Amino acid sequence: MKLDLWIKNGLVYRTEEDFQLANIGIKDGKIHIISELHTQFEAERVIDAEGLYVLPGMIDAHVHFREPAKDPASTETFFTGTRAAAAGGITSIIEMPNSFPCTYNTELLINRKEILKTEALIDYGLYGAAGSDHLDDIIPLADEGISAYKTFMHKAPAGREQEFEGFTMTRDRDLYEGFKQISQTGLPLALHAEHEELLSYFSEFAERTFVEGDYNKHLLARNTLVETSAINRVVFFAEQLQVPVICCHVSSPEALKIIKRAKQDGIRIYAEMCPHYLIFDDSYLEKIGPYGKCNPPLRSPQQIEALWSYIEDGTIDYISSDHSPFPKALKELGYANILKSPAGFPGTELTLPLMLDQVSKGKLSLHKLVELMSVNPAKTFGMFPNKGTLGIGTDADITIVDMRAQRTVNIHELYTVARETALLYEGLELQGLPTHTIVRGKVVAEQGKVDDKAKGWGQFIPRTQP
């Protein structure tokens, strides 16, 4: 039998504690054989992975590509976004619901699936929006195979109301009604956990005391109390209504302390981390202004150091990018007033390289990184074991990495359409890079170069378990 792809001589991820020198044979999009080095098979293509690590495909479970968009000419698309992800070693993404309009019902979700079908280079899941203004639309979304629900605990940003329709639960009564609906589906609810009332209070104070060029007003408006008070509410409703919950982009050790205690109490709660919270501190707001603005904001060096202890003890379940690009013109509104700039920056293309660099620095092991970026997201979002592992019969989603490879980030070489806004990463020297991104047996990116002919190769990943 002739295989489609033969990966030989690689250090293959096999267990949580071991790599094995082995070969992998792929046929019809599935892993057909994992064998010892002396085994040989004929194949259409052979990749010699000597000295390289062969890992389960990386999953970015939090991206905002926003197609269809309010201004299509200046935003990411499913093609450009998945191309950027592929360049960074990502084999699957899960897209957030804040398109234009927001994806709060089955009709809008099906429309996004149709667009993705012809655009995506890599596989994809979809969140469904859950909001107090469209409660009756929540349950039907589960039948469309969504990965999870998502909601915001604060109001829509000014001017983006249509993008957030059906996407917010700001009051306790909203959370109760929304959780009650979701509890009937068995699916998890992911939350942007910032407390609306406190956020409004601190934002108003920041506006009243604002001085032009004072970027620290963003840190005041969204201080740690805004996050921790929201997460306390999440824990309460998760326990009372028995809904599994995901706390997105947790930014502070104070919040993770609450989550750790909830886990110990048996509550099904998951913590998502992003590379920027582990690597970049709040001084970057002074260095690059609005280009360093995200919600929640970057935290202090002391808080960052404390975050790593929650990686070590398992409180943090998985790492995602929160890829959230905006046009340069909108970001630069924040130079005069940081509170007027949209929050977010591109990230999916560099999430794995950033974390591989942390492996090279000894902050975590490569095994732990595979757990955080492949195994755990696959389990959290109902993809496992088809995704998130290397086993006979599983999807041949593979990320090959070279821990010796080095790169100095030049943002003008990035694939994202928002490359000009990626100043957070400019000039970074990274060690450890993906060499091949393989999606169901097809090499969609190699040595940082993406095969644009793979457009449309990506497939929808319906959730297969509660």
Per-residue confidence in pLDDT tens, the chain, 466 aa: 899 999 999 999 987 678 999 999 999 999 999 999 988 889 999 999 999 999 999 999 999 999 998 877 678 999 999 999 999 999 999 999 999 999 999 999 999 999 999 999 999 999 999 999 999 999 999 999 999 999 999 999 988 898 999 999 999 999 999 999 999 999 999 999 999 999 999 999 999 987 788 999 999 999 999 999 999 999 999 999 999 999 999 999 999 999 999 999 999 999 999 999 999 999 999 999 999 999 999 999 999 999 999 999 999 999 999 999 999 999 999 999 999 999 999 999 999 999 999 999 999 999 999 999 999 999 999 999 999 999 999 999 999 999 999 999 999 999 999 999 999 999 999 999 999 999 999 999 999 999 999 999 999 999 987 7
Q: What is the pLDDT of residue 34?
A: 96
Read off the tokens for 326.
Answer: 């905006």
Whole-angstrom Cα distance, residue 284 to residue 288?
6
Of 182, 192, 146, give the one whose Cα is nearest residue 383: 146
Place of tokens 């902050």: 363
Of 254, 249, 404, 269, give the one whose Cα is nearest residue 319: 249
Read off the tokens for 290.
Answer: 């609005």
What architecture is the 55-380 domain classified under in CATH? Alpha-Beta Barrel (3.20)
Number of H helices, E strands in the chain: 15, 17
Of 396, 392, 353, give the one whose Cα is nearest residue 45: 396
In 242-342, alpha helices (H): 253-264, 275-279, 283-288, 301-312, 328-331
Whole-angstrom Cα distance, residue 47 to residue 434?
14
Whole-angstrom Cα distance, residue 216 to residue 209?
11
Q: Do 3-54+398-405+429-452 and 55-380 have matching folds?
A: no
Whole-angstrom Cα distance, residue 418 to residue 426?
13
Of 464, 337, 356, 298, give the one whose Cα is nearest residue 90: 356
DSSP 157: P
Place of tokens 């306390």: 232
Question: 0.75 cut: is pTM over it?
Answer: yes
Torsions phi, psi of 362, nearest 5?
Answer: 85, 15
Angle, helix 78-87 to helix 106-119, in steps of 10 degrees? 60
Whole-angstrom Cα distance, residue 133 to residue 262?
29
CB atoms < 10 A from the CB of 335, how many? 15
Q: Is 42 exposed, middle or buried (0-12, 13-18, 19+ CB in 10 A)?
A: exposed
Domain ranges in the chain? 3-54+398-405+429-452, 55-380
Q: How many Cα neighbours within 13 Å face the side chain of 156?
A: 16
Q: What is the pLDDT of residue 73?
A: 67
Indicate the SS3 state at residue 440: coil
Q: What is the CATH code for 3-54+398-405+429-452?
A: 2.30.40.10
Q: DSSP for 163-216, please give it.
A: GGTT-B--SHHHHHHHHHHHTTTT--EEEE---HHHHHHHHHHHHHT--TT-TT
362 sits in the region (left: phi over 0; alpha: psi -120 to 50; else beta) called left
Torsions phi, psi of 8, nearest 5?
Answer: -115, 155
CB atoms < 10 A from the CB of 107, how many? 10
Q: What is the pLDDT of residue 71?
A: 79
CA angle 447, 448, 454 (to 5 degrees): 100
Q: What is the pLDDT of residue 419?
A: 98
Q: Please list the residues that pair with 93 across neighbouring strands.
A: 60, 124
Place of tokens 């660099």: 357
3-state secondary structure 340-359: HCCCCCCCCCCHHHHHHHHH
- Asked if residues 189 and 237 have their Cβ atoms less than 8 Å apart, the reply is no
241, 276, 331 from 351: Cα distances, Å: 34, 9, 21
Whole-angstrom Cα distance, residue 388 to residue 378?
5
The sign of the CA dihedral 332, 63, 158, 223 is negative
Torsions phi, psi of 312, nearest 5?
Answer: -65, -40
Q: Is 172 exposed, middle or buried (0-12, 13-18, 19+ CB in 10 A)?
A: exposed
